[in-house]
Amino acid sequence: MISEKMTKALNNQIKEELFSSYLYLSMAASFEAQNWQGFANWMKKQSFEEYGHAMKIFDYLNGVGKKVVLEQLDKPKSDWNSPLEAFEDALKHEIHITNKINELAKLAEDEKDFATANFLQWFVTEQIEEVASATAIVEKLKFIGDQKSGLLFLDNELGKRQ
């Protein structure tokens, strides 16, 4: 059985995941305003993915008979000076989310909540992919620098994300 402490922590993670979705949607809006359609596409897809993560936890809590309690989201940042700055913020945010997932996994372990610990393993693995993906884009953007042709090429590449 899931403790109230774990229930509260999972509800908080729903908020974290929804904020992630909101943040990436804000990045997409910023990119669209600058006519970076590929970067915007990548961020929109990331936003949808983060929303899916929130819903996965939402469904888990409901499935184990616990009440989901949604809390107010903070307003995300809305302007970035460059694609690099936005993706660096995305990477910092993914590291933050990784730390939050690790805290949840540790809590589940400490409480001997094996069902939740098992459930959270998917998120632990997912965060490895999330950080790696954001890191790869940041590294490419650092390499490209201000070369417009490189930025256009990467924008086109990221526009192909399904």
Write out the binding residues: 17, 50, 53, 94, 127
The alpha carbon dihedral of 88, 91, 97, 99 has a sign of negative
Burial (0-12, 13-18, 19+ Cβ within 10 Å), 31: buried
Rounded to whole angstroms, how far apart are CA atoms 55 and 78?
A: 24
Rounded to whole angstroms, how far apart are CA atoms 51 and 28?
A: 15
Q: Are the C-beta atoms of residues 58 and 68 closer than 8 Å to each other?
A: yes
Annotated binding site for Fe cation: 17, 50, 53, 94, 127
Q: Are the C-beta atoms of residues 16 and 97 closer than 8 Å to each other?
A: yes
